[in-house]
Structure 1
Amino acid sequence: MYANLSLGALGLSADFPTAVELAARHGFAGVDPDVGYLAGLGDRAAIAEAAAAVAERGLRLGVAGLPVDLTAPAGEFTAQLAGLPDTLAVLSAAGVTSVGTWVRPMHDDLTYRRNWVLHVSRISLVAGVLADAGVRLGLEYVGPKTFWSTERFPFVHSLAEVRELIADTGAGNVGVILDSFHWFTAAETTADVAALADADIVSVDLNDAPEDRALDQQLDLDRRLPGTTGVIDLAGFVAGVRAAGYTGPVKVEPFMASLAEQPVDDVLADVSRRLHAAID
């Protein structure tokens, strides 16, 4: 596994060349691709040249966002799916092989079973388009009870459930996005993660949690930088990821607005140090 920089996940922003420079300067081994920037370069050769420049800095390209909303109204979903090959052409030219999205863990109208059928159908369609381009799809489950209990029908919010969902699609190019915060709020164990294989995991996020809330009171959008409070057993989580043989990107996504108020180099030096301390 390797330390990956995702400025957006940190609530920071910069153009892609700047992000690459920052990643290299602060000892990251990867950086998330900026699909909009790459698409704006115009043609496949220019995109490939930009990706080569990233590699020359000793960096890998991480995971792109899936530009398809799995829960969108039918017409919107169909239109987004039809536009997906255009995004994949950009990713292919850059050598990016993974995209990710999250599974919304509740619904006001659809029962668990009806929502399951909808997700299996739509994930299967998306996965088929991605497979044709040699791209994997990562699905992130969302663990906090304060989130999945806010609508009438709770949905997938644990590792076991998302693995069953993936299995029902029958797609061989769909895996899990693991986040230590969701792992913690779903009350999961090191063994749960260790039971996975590298092929089951598309991406990993490391976060800590506030120490002034009970497990079922944790809020999805209020986290801490890894190793800040010790509320989450990051050593146990990482041990499970390592036992699974995972080789991909690891990033930080703390949803802390305060990070954008600090000098960017200070923030990234701290994040890099925390990531390397956890995974090296």
Structure 2
Amino acid sequence: MADAAKTDGFYSNLSCGALGVSPGFPAAVDLAVEFGFGAVDPDVGYLAGQSPAEVEQLRARLAEQGVRWGNAGVPVNINADAATFATQLAGLEEFAARLAALGVDRAGTWIRPMSDSLTYRRNFARHVERIGLVDEILAAAGVRFGLEYVGPKTFWSTERYPFVHTLAETRELLAAIGSSNVGVILDTFHWFTSAESADDIRTLTADQIVAVDLNDAPTGRERDEQIDGQRLLPGASGVIDVAAFVAALRDIGYAGPIKVEPFNAELRSLPAHEAVARTAESLKAVL
């Protein structure tokens, strides 16, 4: 068994969806156990279709293997039109209750870093209001809410009004929201493309980080030429100083899930077992 799980306080998290492979949730659980991951992202839709006894049997198996839940996605689009947002928000209480029943205590979404119609200030105000509404429901269910900023200039510069795309701006957004239940999802790729340092991470406290993604970047491109959908497994190229990033997490005592989300065509083309094996080895090397 490869051991991807044993770290300082944080733990490796398998997300087959983030790797671009789809073995099915039962197989994903088997892979997490086989390769020593400390967590697996829950498939809430799949689990909703199982009987209470089947869910408890699965949870018992995970507990026996020392595997916990990673973080779930939030089924609410912060950027949707008002009617769509209201409809999605209305269904969130049931979703949050399902997470709580499963024992999932972290969920997140990403911040779209630009708009063709909303200025920065107008978009900021809307995000504060909408994130606050989502958080109120998640917090009541005991679920932490993570926000991931997106750093590549090749993405945030493609529409008329750039929006939040750095850690500093995300912290300003969190401060305006004013909820200790809302934190940041850190990703090495966005940290790198935003020209941030390990010391920027050290300005955070451990409880301000909800989840972490580790990735590397292709060679042969300047920082501002990196493309969000083209990444590498952590440590693959050395373009991103993953070691410094992880060291900063250790320094502040982060103790949550760490997963890989490389958006890598080569990895997606592999059988799920081999893709997960490579991911486990990459995490073992950098953690």
TM-score, normalised via structure 2 length:
0.94
Identify unmatched segments of 5+ residues in structure 2. 1-9
Matched, 1:118 2:126: yes
Q: How many residues align?
A: 278
User: Which residue is 1:50 aligned to?
Assistant: 58
Counterparts of residues 38-117 of structure 1 (less than 5 Å): 38-43=47-52, 46-117=54-125
Contact kept, 8 Å, 1:181 with 1:206, in 2: the verdict is yes
User: Which residue is 1:171 aligned to?
Assistant: 179
User: Which residue is 2:14 aligned to?
Assistant: 5
User: Which residue is 1:19 aligned to?
Assistant: 28
Q: How far off its partner does 1:60 sit?
A: 0.7
Distance 2:102 2:57 in 1: 8
Q: How far off its partner does 1:177 sit?
A: 0.3
Contact kept, 8 Å, 1:47 with 1:90, in 2: the verdict is no
User: Which residue is 1:210 aligned to?
Assistant: 218
Question: 1:229 and 1:251, CA in 2 relative to 1: closer, same or farther beyond 3 A?
Answer: same
Give aligned-pair identity as a percent: 58
Residue 91 of structure 2 aligns to a residue in which SS? helix
Letter in 2 for 1:167: A
Q: How far off its partner does 1:17 sit?
A: 1.4
Contact kept, 8 Å, 2:22 with 2:272, in 1: the verdict is no
User: Which residue is 2:142 aligned to?
Assistant: 134
Question: In the TM superposition, what whole-angstrom CA distance separates every residue of 1:189-219 from its partner, at most 9, and x where no partner exists?
Answer: 0000012111100110000001111011100
Distance 2:269 2:102 in 1: 32
Letter in 1 for 2:14: L
Identify unmatched segments of 5+ residues in structure 1. none
Counterparts of residues 190-205 of structure 1 (less than 5 Å): 190-205=198-213
Q: How far off its partner does 1:42 sit?
A: 4.6
Distance 1:99 1:263 in 2: 28
The Cα RMSD (Å) is 1.2
Distance 1:13 1:212 in 2: 31
4+ residue segments displaced more than 4 Å: none
Q: How far off its partner does 1:99 sit?
A: 0.4
Contact kept, 8 Å, 1:48 with 1:93, in 2: the verdict is no
Letter in 1 for 2:28: A
Distance 1:47 1:80 in 2: 25
Distance 1:50 1:78 in 2: 34
TM-score, normalised via structure 1 length:
0.96
Q: How far off its partner does 1:257 sit?
A: 2.1
